[in-house]
Chains A and B, each alone.
Chain A
Amino acid sequence: MNIKKLLIKLLACALVATCGFANAQEPARKVIRMVTEATFPPYEYRENGRIVGIDPDIVREIAQRNGYELVIEDMQFGSLLAAVQTAKADVAAAGITVTEDRKKAVAFTDTYIEAGLVVVVPKDSPIKTIEDLADKRIGVQLGTTGDTHVTENKIGRPERYDSSALVCAAIKSGSLDAGVIDIAPAKEFVKRNKDLVIIDTPLTFEEYAFAINQNRQDLLDMFNKTLADMKEEGLIKHIAKNHMGKVSSAPVVEQVAEESGFWEDFKDDLKTNFVDDHRYRYLLDGFFTTIQVSAGAVVLGILIGFLVAVIRSAADQTGKLKLANAICKLYLTVIRGTPVVVQLLIIYFVIFGSVDISKVLIAVIAFGLNSGAYVAEIIRSGIMSIDKGQLEAGRSLGLSYPKTMVLIILPQAFKNVLPALGNEFIVLLKETSISGYIALEDLTKGGDIIRGQTYNAFVPLMAVAIIYLIVVVFLSKMLALLEKRLKRNE
């Protein structure tokens, strides 16, 4: 990482130099950049569009007392520590629990609040104790301690969502049996949703601290000193009380700083991201899920596409099938007029909301339905590219319209549109990367999960990108071979 560090330092120097030059007449504005994930009340949430909560209040106080301005940025929880690590942010404050793994990536301030994990279930749920969770569908927020806890302890069947709010929504809609969430937000959610309750025994107790870049000893010292002052004054308790009930202080967190060569670091990163805890399995399982979803969606897309294309062409050529044609047109308009993410979420939350059905199947249906619309128009353009004489020749030999279509028109049309079809399938493969929206663990989500655990963005993302690239290159080669085979009569 020495090169990275050097680059960051150079960049920082350049920035400082520029700012200094620009503001030569007045003192430079001192800013602390804080990142958080503002869907975690009472620690951080949005009120009238502003990000508020216990964490922003404490950090703002620390910043003000030391003559800084506070700038808050909202991002996904799984990316917070990576942002601090890469110096995109000065401090991550998001109800972050101190763990040994996380300490490898960032430095932690003294803990300022204690918290715990609890289990949220529907009111009439048969789940009463932690033992009842076995084999149940349990929602967690990706990259949170809840995620780590259920994964490591193999509690039930974990499903990872982008926010705790989504977990609660899924419990309410019946897509989940229970959720593992931090105690404070869990209480908030239960207060707002009369259908949800928290079971009596909590899963864990944890301590929250702020995360700071390991090279910013100055900032760390400043935070710890001010935190100590604030604790003494009882200000932290006061801030916390404003938002919730239970507060306490906690011991100092030790931090580790290491120095080593680039290759050692890189090898270390590879080991942490792939070997430790068998994390490669996230990519492997994700890869197979992506392939399953893509393959299923391609088959469904071709079936729908051919059907719609033939109905549309037949309606144009024979003037019959008016109703079917109208339905097809509606289908094309709706599917091509709305984003695939929205379609996926509608199919998951609305259409199959209360049905316990495999997420892979839901993704296949969503992406297949979506792809079908594009395949239909591609095939229809292929059908239209075939000379009218081919249809007439078939019909004049006594072949029926369907037989002429299947035996004479479609094989030629298919060959003409193969490049466009291949392109559609490559797009489809990459589009399945949004499966994470329904907490399906595809390849991209697999990378996300690793990043959420190791707080390293570079290695898992590169691995995911390379795997997609290899699959696409392989697909393109296969398509080129097929094209060559189909061209043997020319």
Chain B
Amino acid sequence: MEDNPVIFEVKNLVKKYAKVNAVDGASAAIKKGEAVFIVGPSGSGKSTFLRCLNKLEHPTSGEILFHGKRVPDNPRAENHFRENVGMVFQHFNLFPHLTIKENITLAPIQTKRLTKAEASKVADELLARIGLADKADAYPLQLSGGQKQRVAIIRALAMKPEVILFDEPTSALDPEMVGEVLSLMNDLAKEGMTMIVVTHEIGFACEVADRIIFMDNGKIIEEGPPVEITKNSQNPRVRDFFQKILNV
């Protein structure tokens, strides 16, 4: 993985809201095939950092390079860029007026990444993979939370993106449904999908992450392999955070 190309390079990213700096000078690089987990206390700027990556938020200053290039601020370039960067949301954000299958095939067909027939085939395969083939014609409201989030993940996958961003994907789920979603994410990581995950599931992060980024007050305080960050950190703020969480 050391030699893999860098997909995202973030340089001194700042995102200001009114008076608060949600992200306050964060720099990082994400390589192809990496599973990077961003952790830290609530309000530390993790989600804002993630949302800046696919330009849902426009940074106040700093630079984000995708394959070494800035994505220009015009709709065409941004739309094309986003086709390659999937995103999974805390609240799933499935389209309630479309069937499960339509949810999956809509974007690939509309962006002309796949033909109708191809999109249909891909959707069937992905649904079969997560064991929801029988729900193809159901509507989102008929699914459980865990099922919805797994559909949201394969909806992102259907675009065949280079990287998927996860924004607290299990925070809105009932506890008994967290497992099925994490298991699907684990599979994706093992297959080599590049993933950037904001989460509070520290245990899962330790298990799956190639690297953990710890954020606090909009700054990246420390980053490294899970064990280094969670067990051997020299930074008292980081040590304190993980001690509290892991000793519960």
Contacts and interface: CB of A to CB of B under 8 A. Distances in A.
Contacts of A398: 79-80, 82-84, 107, 111, 113, 159
Given A396-B85, A397-B156, A489 B75 contact: no
A303 B157 CA distance: 36
B111 A399 contact: yes
Interface in B65-117: 75, 79-80, 82-87, 89, 91, 93-97, 99, 106-107, 110-111, 113
B91 A400 contact: no
Nearest to B85: A396
Interface string A363-395: 000000000000000000000000101101111
Interface stretch (A60-68, A401-409, A449-457): A401-409
Contact of B107 (A389, A397, A489): A397
A414 to B, nearest CB: 9
B54 interface: yes
Contact of A392 (B93, B94, B96, B155): B93
Nearest to A486: B97
B180 to A, nearest CB: 21
B56 A396 contact: yes
B141 interface: yes
Given A398-B107, A399-B79, A400-B75, A390 B93 contact: yes
A490 B143 CA distance: 11
A287 to B, nearest CB: 36
A411 interface: yes
Contacts of A389: 89, 91, 93
B139 interface: yes
A393 B82 CA distance: 11
A368 B11 CA distance: 53
A489 B141 CA distance: 7
B89 A412 contact: no
A389 B89 CA distance: 8
Given A396-B56, A396-B82, A489 B91 contact: no
B75 A393 contact: no
Nearest to A490: B141
B56 A403 contact: no
A459 B247 CA distance: 87
Nearest to A403: B110
Given A398-B111, A401-B75, A403-B110, A393 B95 contact: yes
B82 A397 contact: yes
A390 B95 contact: yes
A332 to B, nearest CB: 27
Contacts of B95: 390, 393-394, 408, 412
B56 A392 contact: yes
Contact of B56 (A395, A400, A408, A489): A395
A393 B54 CA distance: 12
A412 B87 contact: no
Contact of A396 (B86, B99, B110): B86
B226 to A, nearest CB: 27
B30 to A, nearest CB: 17
Interface string A16-48: 000000000000000000000000000000000
Nearest to A400: B79
B89 A392 contact: yes
A102 interface: no
B82 A395 contact: yes
Given A398-B82, A407-B106, A489 B139 contact: yes
A399 B107 contact: yes
A463 to B, nearest CB: 43
A133 B185 CA distance: 84
A347 B106 CA distance: 44
B138 to A, nearest CB: 9
A397 B159 contact: yes
Nearest to A488: B139
Which of A390, A393, A397, A401 gathers the greatest number of chain B CB atoms within 10 Å?
A: A397
Contacts of A393: 87, 89, 93-95
A157 interface: no
A103 interface: no
A397 B155 contact: yes
Interface string A405-428: 001100110010000000000000
B65 to A, nearest CB: 19
A397 B94 CA distance: 12
Contacts of B89: 389, 392-393
B97 A411 contact: yes
B147 to A, nearest CB: 16
A415 B80 contact: no
Nearest to A414: B97
B89 to A, nearest CB: 6
Which of A398, A412, A415 gathers the greatest number of chain B CB atoms within 10 Å?
A: A398
Contacts of A490: 96, 139, 141
Contacts of B110: 399, 403, 407
A293 to B, nearest CB: 32
Contacts of A399: 79, 106-107, 110-111
Nearest to A406: B110
Which of A387, A489, A490 gathers the greatest number of chain B CB atoms within 10 Å?
A: A489
A401 B111 CA distance: 12
Nearest to B103: A393
A79 B95 CA distance: 58
A395 B82 CA distance: 8
A381 B138 CA distance: 28
Given A389-B89, A390-B95, A412-B97, A396 B54 contact: yes
A132 to B, nearest CB: 62
Contacts of B111: 397-399
A200 B91 CA distance: 83
Contacts of B75: 400-401
Contacts of A403: 110
Nearest to B108: A397
Contacts of A400: 75, 79
9 contacts: A394-B107, A396-B54, A396-B82, A397-B86, A398-B113, A399-B106, A399-B110, A400-B79, A490-B141
Closest 5 CB pairs of A and B: A398-B83, A393-B93, A397-B107, A489-B139, A396-B87
Interface of B: 54, 56, 75, 79-80, 82-87, 89, 91, 93-97, 99, 106-107, 110-111, 113, 139-141, 155-156, 159, 165
Interface of A: 387, 389-390, 392-401, 403, 407-408, 411-412, 415, 489-490
Given A392-B89, A399-B106, 11 more contacts: A390-B93, A392-B56, A393-B93, A393-B95, A394-B95, A396-B86, A396-B87, A397-B159, A398-B79, A400-B79, A489-B97
